A = this chain, B = another copy of it.
Amino acid sequence: MTPDTSNQIWIYDTTLRDGAQREGLSLSLEDKLRIAHQLDQLGIPFIEGGWPGANPKDVQFFWKLKEQPLQQAEVVAFCSTRRPGTTAAQDSMLQAILAAGTRWVTIFGKSWDLHVTESLKASLEENLAMIGDTIEYLRSQGRRVIYDAEHWFDGYKHNPEYALQTLKSAIAAGAEWIVLCDTNGGTLPHEISQIVRDVVKAIAPEESSPSKIQNPKSKIQLGVHTHNDSDTAVANAIAAVMEGVRMVQGTMNGYGERCGNANLCSLIPNLQLKLGYSCIKDEQLKQLTQASRFISEIANLAPDEHAPFVGLSAFAHKGGIHVSAVERNPLTYEHLEPETVGNRRRIVVSDQSGLSNVLAKARSFGIDLDKQNPACRHILQRLKELENEGYQFEAAEGSFDLLMREALGQREKFFELKGFRLHCDIAPCDGESNCLPYALATIKVSVNGKDILEAAEGNGPVAALDAALRKALVNFYPIIGQFYLTDYKVRILNSNTGTSAKTRVLVESSNGHQRWTTVGVSTNILEASYQAVVEGLEYGLLLHSSAKVALANS
């Protein structure tokens, strides 16, 4: 984990901690694990997992991650310096961060004198001791330490001498990275440049020469952590890198408190493709768009279609001369090639691209399609129709596999739906006993030409529907008894049309050792749910029968 070239920028992702502070974003333990694995695949070297002292979910996250370890990334636990008036060893927060069992920890401390006296109610000396003690103690327990200097830029503007003392305290105690944080997000790029230059000058003497701060063999390196309150978070991080900073902290899709953190989906391509730094492998950079969309899907937030680099509209061109010019020489109308970040050019009037995506996707399901195969165009056509209706297959690979098999004439018919009816009664709950919500679903399916009518109750309409469907099918396919729903997500599309909006439902199912996701879309949330639940069962049966086939062949 020691930088090997001065051109290397160490990306530090804090989507799971600072990103999760975004209003309206709430991640389950399972969500956090899936995002961590996605970031690991993307080649992010540092992933901040959470604050193990702050809530039980974050404690569990570090435990669970030991069962499903990451390939390459260092997962980092985050915590503040010890409390005033105690020792590091006695502070329960620090015990919690040690219990997380990570190699690296990030400790944040106060840089701004005003915050020390106003928020911590501690003396300026005590704050220096808190920083030093905490880092020393964690070092003595074998941890490598990143020090986040909170409110760095504001603190430095108000009292540069004191602010620099806090950094020196962290360095003396053994921190390997010093990260300058623009916590309130109010700093502009030219101020960042100037202050980073000052820090390099002020810290370097201790390291014997100014160039050492940029020298990979130096013990101390600088990082930056910016927020977007001035709409300049990405430019601020770039300004810092250009002054010698070598770690950049940010979040996927720029998620974060208030106006968000520096957006890694913009920073990584800017640094790597425009400024010649090295952040992740070029093949990993080609996964950026997919990773951005996967994470917004898991976070259940609509992706920003106008996001730089990874947005659906980022490389959209409108008709006419413009389009033919782009096709002749893309450089004239595009600042970089969309494929380098895994995005694609969209010709808004008639979209021609995408065949290679379908081929690549098919391969990932073990279906070897030939470009010449007419089914290929057919899949693409169907995909476009469905996406136009609001379907999205980024995270619904079960449904996409079924769609491909349908086009290839390989979709096995396990059952046929005849329809369903739902009944729902709600009485207002005034403390009476029988005020539980009630739903009754009646369903008709046909298996091998035989109609089955079943009914089931539930505490909600989708639960009732799911129960009725299983009851109808379990006698034919006993394996269904082992399937269960593990996740259910609802997204309202074109939400400003109110309750008449279209709804997209994602359902994740499991058979105990595999998981798959299916999708449904309708103006009727029940119908959308029903589509996704039905495909979830169908895909489970398909996996089971393929496994049997594979077993028979082996």
Chain A interface (Cβ < 8 Å from any Cβ of B): 21-24, 26, 28, 30, 112, 114-115, 118-119, 151, 184-190, 228-232, 234-236, 238-239, 242, 257-260, 263, 266-267, 270, 274-275, 300-302, 305-309, 311, 313-316, 318, 321, 325, 328-329, 332-336, 348, 394-395, 417-428, 437, 439, 458-463, 465-466, 484-496, 498-501, 503, 507, 522-527, 529-530, 533
Task: Please determine whether A230 and B266 come into contact, CB atoms closer than 8 angstroms.
Answer: yes
| Interface CB pairs A-B, < 8 A, 17 | A26-B493, A119-B332, A151-B332, A185-B308, A187-B335, A189-B239, A231-B308, A234-B235, A302-B496, A422-B424, A424-B526, A437-B523, A437-B527, A460-B522, A462-B525, A463-B499, A498-B507
Task: Please determine whether A189 and B189 come into contact, CB atoms closer than 8 angstroms.
Answer: yes
Which of B306, B394, B527 is the one whose CB lies under 8 Å from A426?
A: B527
Which of B186, B309, B321 is the one whose CB lies under 8 Å from A336?
A: B186
Task: Please determine whether A460 and B500 come into contact, CB atoms closer than 8 angstroms.
Answer: yes
Centre residue among A259, A492, A499, A507 by max chain B CB count within 10 A: A499
Task: Please determine whether A238 and B188 come into contact, CB atoms closer than 8 angstroms.
Answer: yes
> Chain B residues near A522 (CB, 8 Å)?
437, 460
> Chain B residues near A307 (CB, 8 Å)?
259
> Chain B residues near A26 (CB, 8 Å)?
491, 493
Given A313-B23, A394-B23, A437-B527, A259 contacting B306 (CB threshold 8 A): yes
Copies in the complex: 2
For residue A231, which residue of chain B has the nearest CB?
Answer: B266
**Bound CA span A461–B522, Å:** 11
Task: Please determine whether A417 and B428 come into contact, CB atoms closer than 8 angstroms.
Answer: yes
Distance (whole angstroms) from the CB of A296 to the closest CB of chain B: 10
> Chain B residues near A489 (CB, 8 Å)?
492, 495
Task: Please determine whether A525 and B460 come into contact, CB atoms closer than 8 angstroms.
Answer: yes
Given A119-B332, A329-B114, A459 contacting B500 (CB threshold 8 A): yes
Task: Please determine whether B484 and A488 come into contact, CB atoms closer than 8 angstroms.
Answer: no
Task: Please determine whether A525 and B461 come into contact, CB atoms closer than 8 angstroms.
Answer: yes
Task: Please determine whether B231 and A190 come into contact, CB atoms closer than 8 angstroms.
Answer: no
> Chain B residues near A420 (CB, 8 Å)?
425-426
Task: Please determine whether B306 and A461 come into contact, CB atoms closer than 8 angstroms.
Answer: no
Given A24-B394, A28-B496, A500-B458, A308 contacting B238 (CB threshold 8 A): no
